[in-house]
Amino acid sequence: MRVVGRSLALATFLLVLGGCSGGTEVTRTLEPAVIDVGYEDPNSQNRVMGVGRSISVQAVSFGDGCRERGDARVEVFEETRTIEVRPRDWLTLGSGCRSILNIFTHEVGVDVHSPGEWVVRIIGVKGAVSGSGPREPHEIVLRVDVG
């Protein structure tokens, strides 16, 4: 009788656990980060600093409970003294998400070969942080002097 009772309890537990997932497949994708949500000056949180021949960039992105900080891709164009930073965040769909605002900092360092003024373009998207709906491309442009 104990074996049957334990088996029944385990089967009930697994049924309840399976019922929580709702049969929805969980997917996780790396997407361009939301860098502007429209209610604050995005330049107030992004930072760029030049030290010697190095440039340090802090790109801020936003997300809800379905998003986690991802990575940042960097491209350097010496001839135009331009650096493009493309932060990306993980989006998880198919599981319950908390309705919160997360703020993620993507930090990158770049060594450059020519002194002078450099343009740093942080490239992402603008729009609401929740869901996976369409968002418009957006960029934030910062400038820094490198010695």
Domain that holds residue 99: 24-146
* Three-class SS state of 53: coil
- What is the DSSP-derived secondary structure letter of residue 42? G
* CATH number (domain holding residue 138): 2.60.40
Q: How many domains does the chain have?
A: 1
* Phi, psi dihedral angles at 126 (to 5 degrees): -115, 140
Residue-wise pLDDT for 120-136, tens only, equals 999 999 887 776 566 78
Contact present, 30 and 70 (Cβ < 8 Å): yes
What band does 40 get if pLDDT is binned at 50, 70 and 90? low
Is 138 contained in some domain? Answer: yes
Is 136 contained in some domain? Answer: yes
Is 6 contained in some domain? Answer: no
Is 12 contained in some domain? Answer: no
Say whether pTM exceeds 0.85: no
**Would you say residue 82 has pLDDT above 70?**
yes
100 token code pair: 């919160």
